[in-house]
Amino acid sequence: MEFGIQTRGDWEFILTAAKWAEQRGLAAVALPDHYLHRGNAPEMPAWDHLVHLAALARETTTPDLVCLVSPVTFRHPAVLYKMGVTLDEISGGRFVLGLGAGWMDEEFELFGLPYPDLKTRMEMYEEAMAYIKAAMTPGSGGFDGKHYQLADFSPNPVPANLRLMGGGAGKPKARRIVALYGDEYNLYGTHPEKYAEIRELTRQEAADAGRDPDEITWTSAGPGIAAKKEPDYKRMLDKLAEITDRSPEEIETVYEERQIPHGSGSKASEMIAALEEAGCERYYSQVFVNEDDPSDFGLIFDAYQP
């Protein structure tokens, strides 16, 4: 199992986290793409993390740099494509562009961004993936969709290694989009049994579409609340409860139901192993609770190890 870190914050913190991840030997550094820190906290600073990823492309040399993920209603796919190609160049082929339909209602409402109904957003998400895949592929013939159109030409430059990630919970529409266009499928906080089922269905759909199922990398993500020692874990859990205005018991109930790796002792590592058995190849630990203090990073990732 490979590991990546997903975090957020100002530039100094992002740089510190990325340098730590590279020194630790993690496979990836991922940043979210949100214009609000949290929907219920618009007063908290939120940065454009795609700009941060471009800066990290020059400040790091080994980890993948991952946008996890960008709502398609933020930017036209032509803009996403050009940003992706440019990040691919700057990073030496380490950039992964994650796309999704968007879900944080408040950021669209407060900024006045277009936010159609979910059915329409899913149409836009699928078309954006198809558009960018066509733009990346010489001789593709362009793309003609309901929401987006790309003329039949080669929009140079062609990226060296730009990869497209799809996110979601594995519902049929999202599965089909990844099966057709995705290089990586990130199933967030999914029970291992469900994860294995979704993986098998998507691989079959990719094969039915004429793709090699092995072209798709399988990943997951979840909150980084884990430590070998019980007091460290309880401290992280209490901090998360304070931030989210939920009780520690409520949080642990959800994490147990979805089998999100968490806990003290060997519990988190056993849950990671179950995900790996289900076919997960990389796990992004979201260390949002610790975003003002990177000292806990090592505790979390140590807890994922046997």
Q: Which stretches does DSSP call E strand in the chain?
A: 2-6, 28-31, 64-71, 95-100, 143-144, 149-150, 163-168, 184-188, 217-223, 225-227, 262-264, 282-286
pLDDT of residue 56: 98
pLDDT of residue 289: 66
- State the average pLDDT for the chain: 94
Task: Tell me what the mean pLDDT of segment 263-276 comes to.
Answer: 98
Q: In which element (H, E) is residue 136 found?
A: helix 118-136
User: Going from the N-terminus, what domains does the chain have, and what CATH number goes with each?
Assistant: 2-303 (3.20.20.30)
pLDDT of residue 40: 65
What is the tens place of the pLDDT at every residue in 80-138? Answer: 999 999 999 999 999 999 999 999 999 999 999 999 999 999 999 999 999 999 999 99
CA pair distance 159, 143, nearest whole angstrom: 18
Joined together, the tokens standing for residue 7 give 């975090």
Residue matched to tokens 């266009």: 181
What is the tens place of the pLDDT at every residue in 35-86? Answer: 998 766 778 889 999 999 999 999 999 999 999 999 999 999 999 999 999 9
Q: Are 185 and 165 in contact, with CB atoms under 8 Å apart?
A: yes
For the entire predicted model, the pTM comes to 0.95
